[in-house]
Structure 1
Amino acid sequence: MARAGAALAPLLKAGDVVTLTGALGAGKTTLVRGILAALGHRGEVPSPTFAIVQPYDTTSLPVAHADLYRLEDPSELEEIGLEDQLLDGAILVEWPDRAGEAAWPQALRLSLEALPDGRRSLTWAVPGAWEGRWPPPLVHP
């Protein structure tokens, strides 16, 4: 998941939303750590479950990491101010279903799954705003 995050990082631009769906332990926060490391963040990246939103001023793009697990109603999203982050940065959203079906129609939607053998599966839905950017071309070592 960290490598997938590193592959996604250079594709992000201001106004982008990436949603991350998957069960606990599927690798959502690991993927976010890979994105942030590739964007130049060198500090700790805790899961924002209790803070709900954790902003990062990376060297190339401000990024807000949101965990909506504790939201009880989509109307609570307005109080958080995530949309303001899109003016000059990107947002990465765990548990996007808590925001409601209509939230972020142009988001790159990533789904993560922990497989029985310990590996992780990553699938996606690509909206028009991401066509030609995701998935990145395969790079072989």
Structure 2
Amino acid sequence: VFDDIIRVNLKGTFLVIREASRYILQSGQPMPEGGAAIVNVASIFGKSGQENAAAYCASKGGIVALTKSAAQELAPHGIRCNAVLPGWTETPMTVTAPGEMRAEAIASTPLKRTAQPREIAEAIKFLCLPNASSFITGAALEVTGGWRM
């Protein structure tokens, strides 16, 4: 299971970065003002860890490190690379979590709620907008409501 999670989450992200950057560079289109953007999705667990989730946490932490390395490599080409680190978000994956786990997460979140998927999408959109984020690269943007800070 460990290898499968690493393969999907970490290697999958590596392959997307590789292919996206190749496509951007080989498109023949002029680089837009503010550069192009690649945004990866990691998780706050990539920074904090979680009991019984070593593979998941390692894969998401790896995405953060991979994002920072890619940001350094791609910056000279005008490509910004960042990651979003969602916290507890209302998704099909979290809806199956035990009620006490959800209640504990909400209680320990300063904003006292979970994120909605659109809030994660808005953070990703922000990092893609060159007029808003043209000087942001290598960042790991936590979208957690303060959970696990």
TM-score (norm 2): 0.26
Higher strand proportion, which one? Answer: 1
TM-score (norm 1): 0.27
